[in-house]
Amino acid sequence: MTTPKLHELGAAQAAVLLARRELKAEDLVRACLERAAARNEDIHAFVHIDAVSALAHARALDAGAVRGPLHGLPIGVKDLFDTADLPTGYGSSLYAHHRPAADAASVALCREAGAVLLGKTVTTEFAYFTPGPTVNPHNPLHTPGGSSSGSAAAVAEHMVPLALGTQTAGSIIRPAAYCGVVGYKPSLGRVMSAGVKSLSPTMDVIGGFGRSVRDAALLGAVLTGDMRLLAGHEHGTLRIGLFPSPSWPLAELDTQRAWEIATAALSRNSDSCQDVVLPQDFAELIQLQKDLMTFEMARSLSHERLRHREALSPQLVALLDAGMAIDGATHEAYLQRTADWRLRIDSLFERHDVLLTPSTTGVAPAGLAATGDPLFCRSWSLLGLPAVHLPFATGAKGLPVGLQLVGRMGEDHKLLAAAQRIHERLLY
């Protein structure tokens, strides 16, 4: 078995070596910086890198006590998160010279746990659909997905072992799928959102990317403060609900094949795989998610909409105008329907521990003018349920494809334990 190069080490593996002092933080950070210097010009995952500060921080960590679970681990931070010592542009030219006074809460928690910030990763314009310059590491003619484009690409290309992202519709799960990494979206409200540019408070979630479930769980434990996320998979029968969703007719051949591979592999073991009884009217959640996001984004971006309209993309302007045409009474009705659905969906987890469902319609689409359809993520974002993308197959043109697992609200530790167990079976 070939020994991985330093920049190829997964976060969980590197964390053990760093904690034992068998690996220096400076050596790992330098290896990742060298990888980024060699590949970022082609991939465009980072919008800003501060090598001097990263190396200085790494040397300080090597000279002191072990700080925490992320001690010495290089991370990328989506450019939607405020950072006190790095520019924060939110994917817009409006904020090209913006220097926040403080770190976002999630960034501060990562630093407290010993993480070393390599730099800021590309986001789409205000985390909506207008893409940045990032390309797919597996094929530069294809999108990396969005809005957490740079974070997913940086992890996939071994520039960093971990990166922060956000999701309101499909902005963690979809780029994770397109770039072939593990993406973890925690339960709504489990990670503090202070200092992250808000789009839709009803659905915004902070999470991140790693190259294994253990890696994602390590980051998630720091972000949520819940060390149960690190427990690993449990023994006993796992009740897996098979949920292709009402949008299954829009799944492309690569996703269909991934589904066949997964269901066949999981049905051969002692776990229980059962079709999910579809809740009545579940398909309405897709439109409800769109409408709720449209209303809330229009108001969250009111400063930009009112003072800098000319600097916004036409696509974003159209969304903001549509959102302002929705009145408050209608928004209240959206919120009530969302709350009702969040109660209804919980009954599914009385019969199933986790739900297996598509992440994307297929592999990353060709072209860089769009970031792909979040169709299979919208409902879960609206419901606020935790989700993990698991990459395990290859589709057209050598592009990665996989599926996502969805868990019960607040039971992220159970979801990640199941995800680790299922991912191992799908890979081997």
> How far is Cα 282 from Cα 345, in angstroms, rounded to an integer?
9
Going by C-alpha positions, the residue among 177, 228, 245 that lies closest to residue 394 is 177
Q: pLDDT (tens digit, 9 = 90+) per residue, 179-222?
A: 999 999 999 999 999 999 999 999 999 999 999 999 999 999 99
Tell me, what DSSP letter sits at residue 365? P
Burial bucket for residue 322 (CB in 10 Å: 0-12, 13-18, 19+): middle
Query: Any idea what the CATH number is for the domain that residue 145 is in?
Result: 3.90.1300.10
Checking if the pLDDT of 94 tops 70, the result is yes
The 3-state DSSP class for residue 274 equals: strand
Tally of domains in the chain? 1
Going by C-alpha positions, the residue among 224, 227, 122 that lies closest to residue 179 is 122
> How far is Cα 156 from Cα 171, in angstroms, rounded to an integer?
16
Model confidence pTM above 0.85 = yes
Checking if the pLDDT of 270 tops 80, the result is no
pLDDT computed for residue 232 by the predictor: 84
377 conformational bin, left if phi > 0, alpha if psi -120 to 50, beta if neither:
alpha
Structure tokens at 381: 């974002």
> How far is Cα 40 from Cα 48, in angstroms, rounded to an integer?
10
Q: How confident is the model at residue 279 (pLDDT cuts 50, 70, 90)?
A: confident
Helix (H) or strand (E) holding 118: strand 116-121
Q: Give me the count of residues in the chain.
A: 428
Checking if the pLDDT of 357 tops 70, the result is yes
Checking if the pLDDT of 43 tops 80, the result is yes
Q: pLDDT (tens digit, 9 = 90+) per residue, 125-158?
A: 999 999 999 999 999 999 999 999 999 999 999 9
Domain of 59, in residue numbers: 1-428
SS percent in the chain: helix, strand, coil, step 5: 45, 15, 40
pLDDT computed for residue 1 by the predictor: 57
Percent of the chain with pLDDT over 90: 95
Q: In this structure, is the dihedral angle defined by the CA atoms of residues 302, 290, 155 and 413, taken in order, positive or negative?
A: positive
The 3-state DSSP class for residue 389 equals: strand
Gyration radius of the chain's alpha carbons: 20
pLDDT computed for residue 310 by the predictor: 97
Count CB-CB contacts under 10 A for residue 332: 10
Going by C-alpha positions, the residue among 298, 275, 276, 295 that lies closest to residue 338 is 295
Q: How confident is the model at residue 235 (pLDDT cuts 50, 70, 90)?
A: confident
Q: Which residue has the tokens 């080490």?
A: 9
Least confident segment among 30-39, 130-139, 171-180, 264-273: 264-273
Q: Chain-wide mean pLDDT for the chain?
A: 97
Q: Return the active site residues.
A: 78, 147, 171
